[in-house]
Amino acid sequence: MIHLLPATPDDIPAIRDLAHRIWWTHYPGIISTEQIEYMLGWMYGAETLERQMTLDGHHFWLVRYAGESIGFIAISQTAPGDYFMHKFYLDTGRQAKGLGTAAFQALLEQYPGLRTLRLTVNRRNYKSVNFYFKNGFTIEKCVDIPIGRGFVMDDFQMIRFTPPPSRL
């Protein structure tokens, strides 16, 4: 059974360890080694994660399964009922077993007033894009986000409505 536990600054080392393990397994072939190194340093530095948790309003969750942390999620509220999911990562060895969907459903239970949820995902990250389609997201638009050192995140911005819009 999947459990979400609120993460605190004390959990930063575990989140950083998971991020490095997951990114080095998942992202080669999607983005360059240089971009992986840059983004891990930029997004997962201890000071950056602490700022996100304490100042930027990102709520972090550890995804727990069988007594161990297998992933993490970060989400923030952008307006009443509207949220943005900044991070959703599961250990790649735990993917394609229904655990991601279970973690996502557990996340939704934490936010009963959620109306819309947005995220960005690399356009070549086919496994993740398909996961999000399976869980009710649609592509809202393409975004190209310069992140420094000549790197660009070429992403889809995806959106999920809760409840889904009626299809008449």
Exposed (0-12), middle (13-18) or buried (19+): which is 157, by Cβ within 10 Å? middle
Considering the chain, what is the average pLDDT of its residues? Answer: 94
- Separation between Cα atoms, residue 110 and residue 120, nearest integer Å: 21
The pLDDT of residue 97? 80
Domains observed in the chain: 2-114 (3.40.630.30)
Angle between helices 126-134 and 99-110 (to 10 degrees): 60
Residue ranges of alpha helices (H) inside 27-93 are: 33-44, 46-54
Q: Residue 19: what residue type? A: A
CA atoms within 13 A on the CB side of 89: 22
CB–CB of 124/19 below 8 Å?
no
State the pTM of this model: 0.93
Kindly give the pairing relationship between strand 82-90 and strand 68-79. Answer: antiparallel
* DSSP symbol at 162: S
Identify which has the larger pLDDT, 26 or 166.
26
Digit-coded pLDDT (tens) for 91-142: 987 666 899 999 999 999 999 999 999 999 999 999 999 999 999 999 999 9
Q: Is 15 helix (H, G, I), strand (E, B) or coil?
A: helix
Output the six-digit token pair for 135: 């869980």
Residue 19 has pLDDT above 80, yes or no: yes
Contacts of 26 (CB under 8 A, 6+ apart): 92
CA atoms within 13 A on the CB side of 77: 10
